[in-house]
Structure 1
Amino acid sequence: MKSMLRARRIGTVLLRYGLDDLLADTPAARWLKLARPFVPRVAAGIAQQPRGVRLRLALQELGPIFVKFGQVLSTRRDLVPADIAAELVLLQDRVKPFAGEQARALVEKALGRPVEEAFEAFDITPLASASIAQVHAARLPGGREVVVKVLRPGIDRQIEQDIALLNALAGVVERTHPRAEKIRPREVVAEIEATLAAELDLHREGANASVLRRNWLGSRELYIPEVVWDYSGEGALTLERVHGIPADDTAALDAAGINRPALAANVVRLFYTQVFRDNFFHADAHAGNIWVDSDPARRSDPRIIALDFGIVGQLSPQDQYYLAENFMAIFQRDYRRIAELHVQAGWMPATVRIEELEAAVRGVCEPYFTRPLSQVSLAEVLVKLFRTAQRYQLTLQPQLILLQKTLLNIEGVSRTLDPQIDIWKEAQPVLEKILRERYSLRRVFKEARRHLPELATQAPEMPRLLHQWLQQQVDGQHQLSMRSADLQAINASLQRLQQRLIYAVIGVGLMIAAVLAPIPLGHWGLGGLGALALLRAWWRR
């Protein structure tokens, strides 16, 4: 019954903002048409707004789940028109605050003691209010200024109902959309659900802030407020209070004498460093969550202050590697490499003809490189590549949705600060440096040393297992068992596995020859070559 009432409210809001035309030729269109006579006409002021603005306002009114849904859609420009996607990027879920006295009661419940006992002062007027939580200023005993974040009352129940409704809509899309297996609507909803669950867990947000602070402690580029754990609980999070200028308030930044081009470059470098060095990045990096330190001593070398750590992103080592290599291939205009990487990563079926995909990638990228790189949007290039790859059965990777959204946000913030910024120029050296360090020989030996105890434990079993495997090959008894879910990954990496096996066989053969060699020089020469071949077989980057 509650789902029906919620569905009715959603339909009413869509009609009130004149959005029924966006759902033409869908199962919802018939129901909206029947409900139209019972809903007031669209207000003149709203009717004059572009459809993207009307959709953004409607999503904000419907609450946090729809705001997050709109943010995800803003990254899927292959699914929504460009004007709508550009407007959805502006979603920052600013909503009317709830009563300060209610917030006070929730903080007392979370901390298990009266506010007067916990704090020297607590301001019931919120500093900021969003759809999931709001923030109040406070002062600890001893005078330290802090902020207290508290969840909205009943927000968990509302999100649960909306997720159930979105899952029902995802089922409809799966049955009716011709490309449903590529869009994977249920996985998109699951990603939104996981994101919201993280935002509802203030302990997790505090842990995210602590990790980010540790990664950047002492940095001149980025500052993360300290979590005050003794004054935090399940429903309230207390952090050090910081002061700064919002990154999109260019007038205030200019008045403070901030070097905006240097700041814009810093924003880009920080994003790529968090993703590829730390593999732990702030994934809600819109302008409202990025402040600039207003300390006069930092005018020429401005420092970023990050806020709101409910959403952070991480990638698997494989996705991290393939993504970095894709960026480098784009920077170097290596279109064949881009095509090969998409297949090797398992993002596209192994049956795709590399030459044909390479030609399609060239057709997307080459026109951009006729312009100065400062005028080229990396996010726009990636969106065009994504749309082109859809024709070749690209499968949506839900784990990359947060990264796509953050990349769009970061580019938007940096271009607001400096419209002439060359994002390619700032990003490429960061990526090259990180890749050199990550895949250096020193890193290889460090990883090998870290796994040495595990290898030492398993080493006594290796001769027996190797003999058993070789015997099976000779007797034709080797059996291969796998799940159907493994097939795509195996097809995508078959060539690389074959190459590694060849190097491994050569390496073992050379090592054996080194042992049998009649002269010491043979020991060292053949042994060294064998070691190099085995290292090449093991090396996966």
Structure 2
Amino acid sequence: MQLLRLITINRVLIRHGLDEVIFAIHLLRPIRFLFYLAPWNWFRRVRASRGERIRRTLEDLGPIFIKFGQMLSTRRDLLPDDIAKELARLQDRVPPFPDAQAFAIIERALGKPISEVFLAFDKTPLASASIAQVYAAVLHSGEPVVVKVVRPDILPVIRRDLQLMYIMAQLAERYWSEGPRLRPVEVVAEYEKTILDELDLMREAANATQIKRNFSGSSILYIPTIYWDYTRRQVMVMERIHGVPVADMQALSAVGADLKLLSERGVEIFFTQVFRHNFFHADMHPGNIFIDIDIPEDPTYIAVDFGIVGTLTGADRRYLAENFHAFFNRDYRRVAELHVESGWVPADTRTEQLESAIRSVCEPIFQRPLKDISFGQLLLRLFQTARRYDMQVQPQLVLLQKTLLNIEGLGRDLYPDLDLWKTAKPFIERWIDEQVGLRAMIRGAKYGLPVFLEKLPQMPGLMHEIMLHEAKGRTRRDISAPQLEALRQEIIRAQQRSSLTVLAATLFICATLLLLFAENLPGYLGIPYAAAGMVALAGLLLLMALWRRG
């Protein structure tokens, strides 16, 4: 099966005149003469442009390859213009599948004829993408909507290509010197999860609802409403939005949209989703982003297609934020230390050498606008640095890296003079302050102390139960009589302290809440800040005294 797929891929390359790509590979250059001996190259023929041939090849190879082309289309700095323009067509102009198949899927999923669900239904698709295509419709209640339908029989095609990718990844990991460090099998596994999730429109609808809730009341990002009554695994009905595609620079400029503000808001949306919400749209190519230009000087982003979202662990978020913060402050020593602490490089890495390498990569681009930064060269040098210090690829960060590429591509098109460092630095500093400052301590007390207080009365009983188990020999540890007596005395002291501890912690929590919300209390409940502070201090001192005695 995989051999047949490889043959198919080669046949598609030959059909679109891309067989020279294969012979351009370094290892195959010695036998490049075979390219000219191939029968299909004996006669000259008029060929389409190279960009069009690449696009058609990816379309014929299927959804996984189309997704790859979509990502590349956002990197104008890495591709020639003719190729980038053609690949941009993959974002929403993939050849559609037959309408009759789409209608049958809709009716089967909803259990009703289309006419019973929709007052009007446009039978020409609005857009066709690699995974699904979209139709315009109107509900009987009058709301204009779009109906998204998953392509029929797409799962077997995706699984087939995933199997091929696994084979290639396993070979790379086994026979390529860089394989163990790049962890290609884990990267493919991460991608498998992502693309299979895209096939479940119920999951996509839930993602959209979550992001909409996260940005409730926001003036910078709008998320369409999901109509859950008409949403199934293969069909999703969503509010129809109207906006200008973010890539249509001519239309945005014609209405006088504030492109600088728009690019800054794009950065704010990204950092808000990643660090504050920990739930980010991970497929932000231009085909999924529109601009509401009703008020050109105050433009709003509109996002669609939420099949791919990303999250990070608390540790990864903290390390990323601290890396950004150290980078913005040119503290390359801290960047190197964070790479060691996080386990991204081996523990025996010499920090001063890694610091020097990172400085040589980052310093040339610091505080430059987007138009003066060659991210292609930056990524190449970072890759070389990673190889030198055995830096492993982090599969859980692949989606974030992909999203960063999309965001950077959008920013480059919208406002090349954007000072990315100046825009992002205040946000990172504010987030770090929220995580480690006074507000973080109060938030930790708010969520942690109630749990601690709930468990505190049970602790003496739990300790007594442990002592009984120990006394009866139910554990393998050998505890002597003096040790058991010491435990018994400790339990007695803990019981005596428990009520005082509860009282002290309660005083501290109440005083803290009074300090936070004193301004909102009715006049007759007004409590001076000094009094509340004294209560808090008394509770804190009592807790410290009890803990010291313990």
Partner residue in 1 for 2:425: 428
Could you tell me how far apart the structure 1 residues matched to 2:131 and 2:37 are?
31
Q: Are 2:312 and 1:315 equivalent residues in the alignment?
A: yes
Partner residue in 1 for 2:22: 20
Residues 30/118 of structure 1: CA separation in 2 closer, same or farther (3 Å cut): farther
Once the 2 structures are TM-superposed, how far is the Cα of residue 186 of structure 1 from its aligned partner?
0.8
Following superposition of structure 1 onto structure 2, how do residues 116-515 of structure 1 map, counting pairs within 5 Å?
Answer: 116-295=115-294, 298-369=295-366, 371=368, 375-376=372-373, 381=378, 384-455=381-452, 456-457=454-455, 460=459
SS, match of residue 159 in structure 2: helix
Q: Is the 8 A contact 1:166 1:189 kept in 2?
A: yes
SS, match of residue 312 in structure 2: coil
Once the 2 structures are TM-superposed, how far is the Cα of residue 55 of structure 1 from its aligned partner?
5.0
Q: Is the 8 A contact 1:17 1:42 kept in 2?
A: no
Q: Is the 8 A contact 2:92 2:287 kept in 1?
A: no
Please tell me the root mean square deviation across aligned C-alpha atoms, in Å. Answer: 3.8
Q: How many residues align?
A: 471
Once the 2 structures are TM-superposed, how far is the Cα of residue 294 of structure 1 from its aligned partner?
2.8
Residues 366/11 of structure 1: CA separation in 2 closer, same or farther (3 Å cut): same
Once the 2 structures are TM-superposed, how far is the Cα of residue 466 of structure 1 from its aligned partner?
12
Could you tell me how far apart the structure 2 residues matched to 1:445 and 1:256 are?
47
> Which deviates more, 254-263 or 307-316?
254-263
Structure 1: gaps (5+ residues) = 468-476, 479-510, 512-523, 535-541
Partner residue in 2 for 1:66: 65
Q: Are 2:4 and 1:5 equivalent residues in the alignment?
A: yes
Q: Which amino acid aligns with 1:17?
A: L
Residues 184/14 of structure 1: CA separation in 2 closer, same or farther (3 Å cut): farther
Once the 2 structures are TM-superposed, how far is the Cα of residue 21 of structure 1 from its aligned partner?
2.7
Q: Which amino acid aligns with 2:148?
A: K
The C-alpha deviation readout for 1:195-240, integer Å capped at 9, x for no partner, is: 1111101000000000000011221100000000011112100000
Could you tell me how far apart the structure 1 residues matched to 2:379 and 2:277 are?
22
> Which deviates more, 29-38 or 143-152?
29-38
Could you tell me how far apart the structure 1 residues matched to 2:234 and 2:32 are?
39
Q: Is the 8 A contact 1:174 1:184 kept in 2?
A: yes
Residues 199/373 of structure 1: CA separation in 2 closer, same or farther (3 Å cut): closer
Residues 57/29 of structure 1: CA separation in 2 closer, same or farther (3 Å cut): farther
Once the 2 structures are TM-superposed, how far is the Cα of residue 34 of structure 1 from its aligned partner?
10
Q: Is the 8 A contact 1:67 1:93 kept in 2?
A: no
Q: Which amino acid aligns with 2:288?
A: N
Partner residue in 2 for 1:49: 50
The C-alpha deviation readout for 1:127-149, integer Å capped at 9, x for no partner, is: 00011100000100121100000
Partner residue in 2 for 1:505: none
Residues 59/43 of structure 1: CA separation in 2 closer, same or farther (3 Å cut): farther
Once the 2 structures are TM-superposed, how far is the Cα of residue 367 of structure 1 from its aligned partner?
2.1
The C-alpha deviation readout for 1:53-72, integer Å capped at 9, x for no partner, is: 86555333311112334567
Could you tell me how far apart the structure 2 residues matched to 1:379 and 1:271 are?
21
Once the 2 structures are TM-superposed, how far is the Cα of residue 445 of structure 1 from its aligned partner?
3.0
Residues 373/289 of structure 1: CA separation in 2 closer, same or farther (3 Å cut): closer
Q: Which amino acid aligns with 2:50?
A: Q
Could you tell me how far apart the structure 1 residues matched to 2:44 and 2:216 are?
51
Q: Is the 8 A contact 1:378 1:423 kept in 2?
A: no
Partner residue in 2 for 1:111: 110
Percent pairwise identity = 46
Q: Is the 8 A contact 2:23 2:32 kept in 1?
A: no
Could you tell me how far apart the structure 2 residues matched to 1:74 and 1:444 are?
44
The C-alpha deviation readout for 1:44-90, integer Å capped at 9, x for no partner, is: 6658637xx86555333311112334567899x9xxx9559995995
Could you tell me how far apart the structure 2 residues matched to 1:225 and 1:396 are?
35
TM-score (norm 2): 0.76
Residues 400/31 of structure 1: CA separation in 2 closer, same or farther (3 Å cut): farther
Q: Is the 8 A contact 2:194 2:308 kept in 1?
A: yes
Residues 179/56 of structure 1: CA separation in 2 closer, same or farther (3 Å cut): farther
SS, match of residue 192 in structure 1: helix
Once the 2 structures are TM-superposed, how far is the Cα of residue 266 of structure 1 from its aligned partner?
1.0
Could you tell me how far apart the structure 2 residues matched to 1:74 and 1:183 are?
24
Following superposition of structure 1 onto structure 2, how do residues 93-108 of structure 1 map, counting pairs within 5 Å?
Answer: 94-108=93-107
Could you tell me how far apart the structure 1 residues matched to 2:275 and 2:465 are?
37
Q: Is the 8 A contact 1:231 1:237 kept in 2?
A: yes
Q: Is the 8 A contact 1:293 1:302 kept in 2?
A: yes
Q: Which amino acid aligns with 1:119?
A: F
Once the 2 structures are TM-superposed, how far is the Cα of residue 422 of structure 1 from its aligned partner?
0.9
Once the 2 structures are TM-superposed, how far is the Cα of residue 187 of structure 1 from its aligned partner?
1.1
Larger radius of gyration: 2
Q: Is the 8 A contact 1:282 1:312 kept in 2?
A: yes
The C-alpha deviation readout for 1:363-390, integer Å capped at 9, x for no partner, is: 1122223856873467865664343122
The C-alpha deviation readout for 1:349-404, integer Å capped at 9, x for no partner, is: 11000011111111112222385687346786566434312210100001111111
Residues 20/377 of structure 1: CA separation in 2 closer, same or farther (3 Å cut): closer
Could you tell me how far apart the structure 1 residues matched to 2:112 and 2:134 are?
19
Could you tell me how far apart the structure 1 residues matched to 2:195 and 2:414 are?
29
SS, match of residue 147 in structure 1: strand
TM-score (norm 1): 0.78
Q: Which amino acid aligns with 2:412?
A: R
Q: Is the 8 A contact 2:91 2:285 kept in 1?
A: yes
SS, match of residue 198 in structure 2: helix
Q: Is the 8 A contact 1:17 1:47 kept in 2?
A: no
Residues 379/319 of structure 1: CA separation in 2 closer, same or farther (3 Å cut): farther
Could you tell me how far apart the structure 1 residues matched to 2:430 and 2:336 are?
24
Could you tell me how far apart the structure 2 residues matched to 1:414 and 1:311 are?
21
Residues 263/358 of structure 1: CA separation in 2 closer, same or farther (3 Å cut): same
Q: Is the 8 A contact 2:134 2:149 kept in 1?
A: yes
Residues 353/226 of structure 1: CA separation in 2 closer, same or farther (3 Å cut): same
Q: Which amino acid aligns with 2:247?
A: D
SS, match of residue 306 in structure 2: coil
Residues 226/130 of structure 1: CA separation in 2 closer, same or farther (3 Å cut): same
Once the 2 structures are TM-superposed, how far is the Cα of residue 182 of structure 1 from its aligned partner?
0.9
Residues 436/335 of structure 1: CA separation in 2 closer, same or farther (3 Å cut): same
Structure 2: gaps (5+ residues) = 468-476, 479-500, 502-536
